[in-house]
A = this chain, B = another copy of it.
Amino acid sequence: MQISELSAVSGVSVASIKFYRREGLLPPGIATATNRATYADHHVRRLRLIRALIEVGELPIANVRAVLAAVDNESTTLHDAFGAVMHSLDPAPPADPSDSTADAEIIAVNEWLARRAWQVEPHAPAIRTLAQLLVAIRQFDFAMSITDFDEAADLAEQTAYGEVAYARATTDRASAVATMLIGTVVIERVLVEIRRLALEAVSARLEAEVREP
């Protein structure tokens, strides 16, 4: 198909396709005699993954490039490709590597992961982010530690099986990674909204108890 048809099928504008080409995110089409290029189905799948990374994952171009490299490198496992996208969702670690405010919590998080037999890359950004959030919780005088989230972790683990298996069952690596990313980002936002609704509902109940004891 030509670039106009690729645009129609993928829902990505011709200008964006050209931008992704220039940035090296989309491989070239096959050049034809008329100095045009024809594109194939794998370009459509690639474009869908790029849009998912940018629009759903809100990843900067540099991170999109890193994820695509992991997807393209067929010598890595699908798990490694998932890891590349999961790890790029979290903000970068602090520029100052000597920042030690979260060190004690990082140890606590790692011990907690070991107790749960959750095998996670030691450099997974979620470990440091979680530790920093636990520091923040304590700074705001909330008496909570990582073990207060055991029940939430049980539920997350239980539902993760369905989500990861669903992503792995897709036909190609690009689709599997796109599915994993979309599932991760969209479902975590669903859970955030449900939590906010629960807080509002419970706040209404506690207010009513004060007024009509």
Binding site for B on A (CB under 8 A): 77-79, 82-83, 86, 89-90, 113, 116-121, 124, 126-127, 129-130, 133-134, 136-137, 140, 142, 144, 149, 151-153, 155-157, 159-161, 163-166, 168, 179-180, 182-184, 186-207, 211
The answer for the CA separation of A77 and B149 in the assembled complex, in Å, is 30
Would you give the shortest CB distance from A148 to chain B, in whole angstroms? Answer: 9
Does the CB pair A86–B155 fall under 8 Å?
no
A189 to B89, CA, bound (A): 13
State the copy count for this chain.
Answer: 2
A190 to B109, CA, bound (A): 12
Q: Would you give the shortest CB distance from A109 to chain B, in whole angstroms?
A: 9
Beyond contacts A152-B194, A160-B198: 8 other A-B pairs, Cβ-Cβ < 8 A, are A79-B203, A83-B200, A120-B200, A124-B200, A133-B189, A137-B186, A142-B182, A160-B201
CB neighbours of A211 from chain B (8 A): 77
Other-chain residue from B126, B191, B195, B204 in contact with A119 (beta carbon distance below 8 A): B204
Provide the bound-state CA to CA distance between A62 and B83, in Å. Answer: 39
Residues of B within 8 A of A121 (CB): 200
Complex Cα–Cα for A200 and B136 (A): 24
Taking A191-B149, A207-B77 as contacts, is the C-beta distance between A199 and B163 under 8 angstroms?
A: yes
